[in-house]
Amino acid sequence: MSAVILAFDTSCDDTSCAILGSNVQSNVVISQNIIHEQYGGIMPEMAARTHFENIDKATQLAFEQANCCIKDITHIAVTIGPGLLPSLLVGVSFAKGLVYRYNLPLIPINHIEGHIFASFIEKDIEFPFIVLIVSGAHTHLYLVEGIGRYTLLGKTLDDAVGEAYDKVARILGLGYPGGPIIDKLSKNGKADSFKIPKGLSKKNTLNFSFSGVKTYVKNLVEKSPTLSKTFVCDVAASFQRSCVEILCEKTIMALKKYNINNLVLAGGVSANSLLREKMSELSQHLGFKLLLPPLSLCTDNALMIAKAASFKINAKFDLNSIDANPSLTL
Ligand code: KG4
Ligand code: ZN
């Protein structure tokens, strides 16, 4: 019998449930953006309460979309970390409840591993590959030599790039999450209006730094008499170019240093239009293979958790030792 995995992700502010089998697939994401928008960021306790309210509905919708029922499920998978502890606890407790009730095996998944394999839902890429994980909490470069074989090559020393997008959006008086808004406004701005510095550029390191970029924008805004539409669009475009250029520079450095020909992008910021465009150009120009996640699977979702779990269906896990771990590493 082939596996049919029911998966949950409640690591941050999206309540997601997905089903993945050879003939069935669904992916339900209930966003909390409207709730957190008014605060310009995520309120952890409120996020957990909203997960609690929505997880049952997300599960029902996932079964409806996949046109199957609990009797068809062979495995349950859940994100155990990293993420916000109150949020993670909702998903882990809910998944464990189903595991006890229906006597199914539980597969614990690292949220970052989920992001890495999101692109694999549509297409495979050969190992080894380098993955650039860019999200609200991560800006990490890993060498991936197989399932579970991950070597950290570089990471942000301060803010994650998605966090920088969200903070810059708040400074500019825009909504939450900032990434998609800045991405859109950039299209109406001139990227050479402001020379926004690129953290750790031209330095012999695969680490990143984004706190300086954010401070630079803060100073620009404080000095500007008004936040005109043109000013906001020009800052957005200049900021976006600075971020994308440094992400490309370090990623190419990693591919060359480790002599790797396959690149995977992962995480919410991999939805960014300029990052996708520049990486695609570089892939053609330099001749490496590029795997971009479909736009719907860049940000948090449970289908990527189900995909990561599909590689582990034969592994045995001790149910009692599975727990939420907000600072879980790969
Ligand atoms: O992976 P994700 O959904 O959640 C985390 O695990 O953090 O990523 C969310 C992040 C947010 O910071 C959001 O602003 C950013 O991804 N993001 C984008 C875009 N879409 C989402 N950043 C830049 N451009 C986008 N189009
Ligand atoms: Zn994520």
Each residue of 233-275: pLDDT tens digit?
A: 999 999 999 999 999 999 999 999 999 999 999 999 999 999 9
**In the numeric block, which tokens belong to residue 102?**
């229906």
Ligand nearest to the CA of 210: 1
* Residue 18 parent element (H or E): strand 14-20
Neighbours of 18 (CB within 10 A): 28
Residue nearest atom 8 in ligand 1 by C-alpha distance:
268
| pLDDT number for residue 1 | 66
**In the numeric block, which tokens belong to residue 96?**
């464990």
Of the candidates 247, 29, 211, which has an alpha carbon nearest to the alpha carbon of residue 133?
Answer: 247
pLDDT, average across residues 185-199: 96
Q: What's the whole-model pTM score?
A: 0.95
Distance in Å, CA 57 to ligand 2 centroid: 21
103 pLDDT above the threshold of 70: yes
Ligand nearest to the CA of 161: 1
N- to C-terminal Cα distance for the chain?
A: 30
Cis peptide before 82 (omega within 30 of 0): yes
Give ligand 1 pocket residues (Cβ under 6 A).
12, 135-137, 162, 165-166, 177-180, 183, 267-269, 271-272, 299-300
pLDDT band of residue 291 (cuts 50, 70, 90) is: very high
Sign of CA dihedral 240, 243, 249, 255: negative
Q: Which atom of ligand 1 is nearest to the CA of 300?
A: 3
Q: Which atom of ligand 1 is nearest to the CA of 160?
A: 12
**Pairing relation of β-strands 14-20 and 5-9?**
antiparallel
Residue 50 CA, chain-centre distance (Å), reads 20
Give every CB contact of residue 172 below 8 A, 6+ residues apart in sequence: 182, 217, 221, 227, 232, 235, 236
To test the pocket of ligand 1, the residue of 269, 296, 327 to mutate (highest count of ligand atoms within 8 Å of its CB) is 269
Ligand nearest to the CA of 239: 1
